[in-house]
């Protein structure tokens, strides 16, 4: 028996454990310190009422013989796929067929699982810094990874470069951790590049619900040609606080075809073989997000987080600190002041302001010297953190 030795090439991820270790050690030495955590990427507001009501009602159905559900369709119930199809139409003007939408237990699983249908010989282009899952899942398969540098000059939005060619291109917009989001012209460059090179874009739209600026893109299918070269991943985690409830979706357009094979067909085969679908109550709860009450309640939650982001960015504006994100994203990505390194700034904030954030170096080499704060916290605590940061850095 031989193991998959590619796993030995994975770098241990110490980011969040190191943050916890440092924070706990500081707290142990300073028990009175009132620490505010703006480092987490998890949501804090509970599920909205429309979602909870649908969850209850569907759970009740499961306890009654006449309405009980056994195995559902592996690719999701029609009622949820139709609701997502309508959401695309109404929000983005994008036309999809329900059978191009595949329901799953979240974007992370799909981003990893989709790689089953691609050759390990493909070269992968990954932005740096970015959500670490893209890199690790490809290392597990032994694919060659080429990095596209994000930096202050390109506002952390790398664009195609004819010297850097890849077969699979990851785009995360709005980006985690930088909060930077592509506009239509920029994304069109990526779509054209993918079409010319016969490449495939994996577009991670997990934070699309935070986009409010009209010039920015929420779905890659807003761009002409994208149906021929892009798969889109999305999630209820950030739209509606489903991080612990688990539901997401992936769009594989009918036109997507490589080497004469439809990718939708391969993905359907992969899912029906290795996945048995998301639970019925969770899918009912997810569908409630798109009802008029659900939408209203979700919008209130998103506005709450946006308000937090505004408090953070206003403090940075006052201090004259460079940042991206915050406007169309729950993440604010700032340049550490006075040329400090990511961890140096982490220590300063922890010990002098009792505020915890995430060092940018944990998201890739290009993240060194930058720092992520999140808007997913409590309003009053966020306000207090912003005041402390202002006081410290003025
Ligand atoms: N994609 C990005 C960019 C993320 O930041 C996250 C979670 O933080 C995910 C995907 C995972 O989403 P899910 O909770 O649906 O697995």
Residue-wise pLDDT tens digits, 52-110 = 999 999 999 999 999 999 999 999 999 999 999 999 999 989 999 999 999 999 999 99
pLDDT of residue 162: 87
How close is the Cα of 186 to the center of ligand 1, in Å? 23
How close is the Cα of 66 to the center of ligand 1, in Å? 36
Cβ of 324 closer than 6 Å to ligand 1, yes or no, is: no
φ, ψ for residue 355, nearest 5 deg? -115, 135
Tell me what the pLDDT averaged over the chain comes to.
97
b or e along 295-304 (b: 16 or more beta carbons within 10 Å of the residue's beta carbon)?
Answer: bebbeebbee
CA dihedral (225, 227, 231, 237) positive or negative? positive
Alpha carbon distance 301, 282 (integer Å): 19
Instruction: Work out which ligand 1 atom sits closest to the CA atom of 42.
Output: 8
Q: Whose CA is nearest to atom 5 of ligand 1?
A: 176
Q: What is the number of other CB atoms lying within 10 angstroms of the CB of residue 263?
A: 19
Percent of the chain with pLDDT over 90: 96
Query: Quick one: average pLDDT of 319-335?
Result: 97
Q: Whose CA is nearest to atom 2 of ligand 1?
A: 206
Q: Which two tokens stand for residue 25?
A: 């050690």
Alpha carbon distance 73, 272 (integer Å): 8
17 contact partners, CB below 8 Å, separation of at least 6: none
How close is the Cα of 233 to the center of ligand 1, in Å? 9
**Domain extents in the chain:** 11-40+293-393, 50-290
Closest CA to 49 of 283, 300, 280: 300
Give the pairing of strands 355-356 and 36-37: parallel
Give the pairing of strands 370-374 and 200-204: unpaired
Instruction: Work out which ligand 1 atom sits closest to the CA atom of 130.
Output: 3
Q: Whose CA is nearest to atom 8 of ligand 1?
A: 41
Q: Which two tokens stand for residue 215?
A: 């010039």
| Beta bridge partner(s), residue 104 | 248
How far CA 274 is from CA of 74, 270, 271, in Å, comes to 9, 6, 5
pLDDT over 90 (residue 163): no
Contact assessment for residue 123 and residue 166, using Cβ atoms and an 8 Å cutoff: yes
Contact assessment for residue 43 and residue 330, using Cβ atoms and an 8 Å cutoff: no
Give the pairing of strands 370-374 and 358-359: antiparallel
Cβ of 41 closer than 6 Å to ligand 1, yes or no, is: yes
pLDDT of residue 218: 97
Cβ of 176 closer than 6 Å to ligand 1, yes or no, is: yes
How close is the Cα of 213 to the center of ligand 1, in Å? 22
Alpha carbon distance 272, 274 (integer Å): 6
Query: Quick one: average pLDDT of 181-206?
Result: 98
Cβ of 243 closer than 6 Å to ligand 1, yes or no, is: yes
Instruction: Work out which ligand 1 atom sits closest to the CA atom of 109.
Output: 16
Alpha carbon distance 212, 218 (integer Å): 9
pLDDT of residue 165: 86
φ, ψ for residue 79, nearest 5 deg? -65, -35
Which residue among 108, 129, 234, 243 has the greatest number of ligand 1 atoms within 8 angstroms of its CB, and so is best to mutate? Answer: 108
Cβ of 227 closer than 6 Å to ligand 1, yes or no, is: no
269 contact partners, CB below 8 Å, separation of at least 6: none
Class of the CATH-defined domain 11-40+293-393: alpha beta
Q: Which two tokens stand for residue 97?
A: 């067929």
Q: What is the number of other CB atoms lying within 10 angstroms of the CB of residue 12?
A: 6
Give the pairing of strands 323-325 and 261-262: unpaired
Cβ of 100 closer than 6 Å to ligand 1, yes or no, is: no
φ, ψ for residue 233, nearest 5 deg? -115, 135
Residue-wise pLDDT tens digits, 353-390 = 999 999 999 999 999 999 999 999 999 999 999 999 99
Cβ of 206 closer than 6 Å to ligand 1, yes or no, is: yes
Give residue 122's Cα distance to chain centre.
23
Cβ of 105 closer than 6 Å to ligand 1, yes or no, is: no
pLDDT of residue 131: 93
Class of the CATH-defined domain 50-290: alpha beta
Residue-wise pLDDT tens digits, 32-66 = 999 999 988 899 999 999 999 999 999 999 999 99
Alpha carbon distance 143, 328 (integer Å): 32
């Amino acid at each position: 028996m031989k193991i998959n030795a590619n796993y030995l090439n994975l770098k241990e991820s110490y980011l969040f454990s190191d943050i916890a270790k440092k924070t706990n050690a500081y707290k142990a030495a300073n028990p009175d310190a009132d620490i505010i955590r703006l480092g987490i990427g998890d949501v804090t507001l509970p599920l909205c009422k429309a979602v909870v009501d649908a969850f209850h009602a569907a759970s009740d159905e499961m306890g009654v013989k006449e309405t009980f559900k056994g195995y559902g369709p592996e690719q999701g119930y029609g009622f949820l796929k139709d609701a997502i199809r309508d959401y695309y139409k109404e929000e983005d003007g994008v036309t999809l067929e329900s059978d191009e939408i595949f329901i799953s237990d979240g974007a992370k699983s799909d981003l990893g699982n989709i790689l089953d249908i691609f050759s390990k010989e493909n070269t992968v282009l990954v932005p740096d810094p970015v959500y670490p899952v893209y890199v690790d899942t490809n290392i597990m398969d032994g694919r060659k990874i080429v990095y596209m540098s994000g930096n202050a000059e390109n506002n952390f939005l790398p664009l195609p470069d004819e010297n850097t060619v890849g077969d699979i291109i990851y785009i995360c917009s709005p980006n985690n951790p930088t909060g930077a989001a592509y506009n239509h012209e920029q994304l069109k460059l990526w779509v054209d590049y993918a079409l010319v090179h016969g490449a495939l874009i994996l577009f991670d739209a997990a934070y699309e619900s935070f986009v409010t600026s009209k010039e920015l893109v929420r779905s890659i299918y807003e761009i002409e040609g994208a149906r021929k070269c892009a798969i889109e991943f999305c999630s209820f985690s950030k739209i509606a606080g489903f991080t612990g409830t688990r539901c997401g979706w992936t769009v594989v357009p009918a036109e997507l075809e490589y080497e004469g094979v439809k990718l939708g067909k391969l993905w359907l085969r992969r899912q029906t073989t290795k996945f048995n679908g998301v639970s019925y109550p969770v899918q009912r709860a997810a569908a409630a997000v798109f009802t008029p009450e659900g939408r209203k309640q979700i919008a209130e939650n998103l506005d709450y987080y946006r308000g937090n982001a505004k408090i953070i960015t206003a403090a940075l504006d006052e201090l004259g600190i460079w940042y991206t994100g915050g406007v169309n994203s729950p993440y604010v990505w700032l340049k550490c002041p006075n040329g400090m390194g990511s961890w140096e700034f982490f220590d300063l904030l922890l010990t002098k302001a009792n505020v915890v954030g995430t060092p940018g170096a944990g998201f890739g080499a290009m993240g060194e010297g930058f720092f992520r704060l999140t808007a997913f916290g409590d309003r009053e605590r966020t306000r207090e953190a912003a005041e402390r940061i202002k006081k410290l850095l003025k």
